[in-house]
Amino acid sequence: MKKKANYVGHLGSGIPCILQYYGKDSFRFTENFIKITFYADVEGVEYLQKQENEQEPPKNPPSTPQVEGLIKNIDKELSLKELLNKMNLKDRKYFRTAYLQKAIEEGFIELTIPDKPNSSKQKYSLTEKGKQLQKQLKNMEQNDERI
């Protein structure tokens, strides 16, 4: 019970902390609303602008989030079964149409045996375009984690 009382005691402590750091002029009260304005320091704004400018959007973005997810997960030549496992999917037909076929059409993924697309030994790998996009996507993720 004591833990619950301590937890409840922390509720509502945000406003005093905000007042301590930002002051009362950050709050504007109207009849129906409270408007809170947080002023950023110049260094913080400059840092965020620099980070934003460094993040270039992908030059040839994938058409769907599914294709993007597939590109992020390919690290070597993989069979259809290996790709399904890596993407944590079970439906082969859906995977082929929503993920694999679109990635191939967009030039991100290539077949290792292009003459025999239905071969049991068929594997898939990233094209040079796919590798470039994968690198961009990973850089964007790393920059998002730092902020």
Domain boundaries of the chain, sorted by first residue: 2-41, 65-146
**What's the whole-model pTM score?**
0.56
Picking from 83, 107, 110, the residue whose alpha carbon sits closest to that of residue 94 is 83
- CATH topology for the 65-146 domain: Arc Repressor Mutant, subunit A (1.10.10)
For 30-67, what is each residue's pLDDT tens digit? 888 888 777 767 776 777 677 666 655 555 666 788 88
Read off the tokens for 58: 């992908």
Predicted confidence (pLDDT) per residue in 88-122, tens digit: 888 989 888 888 999 999 999 999 998 998 888 99
Contacts of 62 (CB under 8 A, 6+ apart): 68, 71, 102, 103, 106, 108, 133
